[in-house]
Amino acid sequence: MLAQQFVSGIVIGGVYALIAMGLTLVYGVLRILHVAHAAVYATGAYVGLITFQRTDNLWLGLAAAAVFCGLFGVMIHRFVYGPLLDQPRIVPLIASIGLFIFSQDFLRLLFGPYAMSFPASVPFGLLELGDAVIPGRQVFILAVTAVLLALTWYVVGRTRLGLAWTAVSQDAETAVAMGVNVPRVVAFNFLFGSSIAAIAGILVGMHYNSVYPAMGEMPAYKMLAVVVLGGLGSVPGTVVAAFLLGLVETLLVGFAGFVLPRDAIAFVALIAILLLRPEGLFGRSDA
Partner 1 sequence: MLEVRDLHVAYGEVRVLHGVSLTVQRGELVAVIGANGAGKTTMMKSILGLVTPDAGDIRWNGQSLMRVPPWARAAAGIGYVPEGRRVFPGLTVEQNLRMGAYPVRNPREVQAGIDEVYALFPRLAERRRQRAGTLSGGEQQMLAIGRALMNRPRLLLIDEVSMGLMPIMVQRAFDIVKSLHEQGMTILLVEQNARQALAVADRGYVLELGRIVLAGTAAQLQSDPRVQAAYLGGGSGGFHDGRPRA
Per CB under 8 A, contacts with partner 1 among 138-167 are 160, 163-164, 166-167
Closer by beta carbon to partner 1, 40 or else 235: 235
Question: Minimal distance in Å, beta carbon 156 to partner 1?
Answer: 12
Q: Report the alpha-carbon distance of residue 124 to residue 36 in Å, rounded.
A: 33
Q: Which of 173, 256, 258, 285 binds partner 1 (CB under 8 A)?
A: 173
Helices (H), 31-180: 37-55, 58-75, 90-111, 136-158, 160-170, 172-177
What are residue 140's phi and psi, to 5 degrees?
-60, -45
At 219, phi and psi to the nearest 5? -60, -30
Q: Which stretch binds partner 1 (CB under 8 A): 4-12, 37-45, 177-185, 249-257?
A: 177-185
Q: Does residue 5 touch partner 1 according to CB under 8 A?
A: no
Answer yes or no: are the C-beta atoms of 243 and 29 closer than 8 Å: no
* 269, 225 Cβ separation under 8 angstroms: yes
For residue 12, the surrounding DSSP H or E stretch is helix 2-30
CB of 225 to partner 1, least distance (A): 23
Among 56, 105, 131, 171, binds partner 1 (CB under 8 A): 171
Between residues 164 and 227, which has the closer beta carbon with respect to partner 1?
164
Cβ atoms within 10 Å, residue 21: 29
Nearest-angstrom CA–CA distance, 64 and 52: 9
| Residue 178 within binding range of partner 1, rule CB under 8 A | yes
4 counts as binding partner 1 under rule CB under 8 A: no
Residue 116 or 227: the one with the smaller Cβ distance to partner 1 is: 227
Residues 24, 37: contact at Cβ < 8 Å?
Answer: no
Judged by CB under 8 A, does residue 174 bind partner 1? yes
Query: Is 31 near partner 1 (CB under 8 A)?
Result: no
Q: Which is nearer to partner 1, 160 or 261 (CB)?
A: 160
Q: What is the DSSP letter of 133?
A: E
Q: Which of 32, 149, 175, 197 binds partner 1 (CB under 8 A)?
A: 175
Residues that bind partner 1 (CB under 8 A): 160, 163-164, 166-167, 170-171, 173-182, 284, 286-287
